[in-house]
Amino acid sequence: MTEKEKRDRGKWYDANNDREIGEEIMRAKDLCFRLNSTLPSAISEREEILSLLIPDRGNDVMILSPFYADYGYRISIGSGSFLNHNAYLMDGGGISIGEHCFFGPDLAIYTALHPLIAEERNKGLEKALPVVIEDDVWIGGRVTILPGVHIGKGAVIGAGSVVTKDIPPFTLAYGNPARCIRGIDERDRIITECP
């Protein structure tokens, strides 16, 4: 089994010394550099770079620079989603973002785990667990999402939170570590009349 196959199956793999993985990471770094060096007004050029970096994107996805990813192709983003400045998606385990998701600046999504024993960690071993974010999620600024987390449809994560566990649908959560505060329901509606 190759290191890449181990990675994709959620097993411990050599993330630092495998040629194929190293080439994929370098490709993504180069594409991120190109994207981050391209004028915001150069929309068609940015789209072309994003198509190479993240081919699985829906319509009307907006990603502001700077943006960083380890692989890029291990990310899927649904239509109408928005990632603000300085997002880093460590996507070895795969990151799935639904439709109409909004992310504040300084987002960090991590899928990698490292051994606790220094001797094993120093060998470059890593395990990658997927992160799933369902449709209509709002993530505030400076939020960190850890490996294996699943955030349910319509959830809201407050700014500065560190999400260590799954968040149910239509739930407001915040803190470090993030905890569920309450459900989101009709009392949260701000538009009470049709215009």
Catalytic residues: 114
User: Which residues, other chains included, contact 76 with Cβ-Cβ below 8 Å and sequence gap of 6+?
Assistant: 54, 56, 57, 95, 96, 97
Helix (H, G, I), strand (E, B) or coil at 25: helix
User: Using CA atoms, how far apart are residues 38 and 55, in angstroms rounded to an integer?
Assistant: 18
User: Using CA atoms, how far apart are residues 98 and 15, in angstroms rounded to an integer?
Assistant: 27
